[in-house]
Amino acid sequence: MKTNILPAIRLTAATLILFCVIYPAVVWAIAQLAPNHGKGEVISAHGKKYYANIGQQFTEDKYFNGRPSAVGYNAAGSGGSNKGPSNPEYLQIVQARLDTFLVHNPGVDKADVPVELVTASGSGLDPDISPAGAKVQAARIAKVRGLSENAVEELIAKHTEGPLLGMFGPSHVNVLKLNLALDQLK
């Protein structure tokens, strides 16, 4: 046992130095090379600053809705609800979100609503939705804003970002950027 204690202490010290000093320093240094020095993408609009990589709440019918948040879009308290898919309270919340969505989007079938529009993410801060999640809202946006549905769908297509390096992850639409672009349409 005595022969194992000293190597274990050395390994623990080396691991602490590697993961508590070296690794964070390398990540910080790489972040300094990124735009805005790793502080996220900041967008200024309407006299306010928004972080494009943090979900925002849009409740007006003239805007696209993003993914619901279990933490009220509070970046200081990121997290999910921790309720499983068989939890009755969770199922009531999802059903209420679905009912609200269908009321605001008449003509949309229940089966056509993408799951991300009625379920919160693990972080509660997702800034993106799928292109299908945006397209299912296009008719409402077009009607409220007096635009053609085709113009709204073109805007969605313009703001759809493909998978990372063309192969990692799904295509997605940043809701904040899409809504700000909507505001710029005349």
What pLDDT does residue 41 have? Answer: 77
User: Quick one: 58 and 120 in the same domain?
Assistant: yes
119 and 173 belong to one structural domain: yes
> Count of domains in the chain?
2
Same domain, 91 and 178: yes
- 125 shares its domain with 97: yes
Residue 47 sits in the same domain as residue 21: no
Residue 186 confidence class, pLDDT cut points 50, 70, 90: low
Do 140 and 71 share a structural domain? yes
Which domain does 18 fall in, by range? 1-39
pLDDT value at 119 more than 70: yes
pLDDT in tens, 21-58: 999 999 999 988 887 787 777 788 878 887 778 888 88
Convert 42-58 to b/e letters by CB count within 10 Å (16 or more is b): eeeeeeeebbbbbbbee
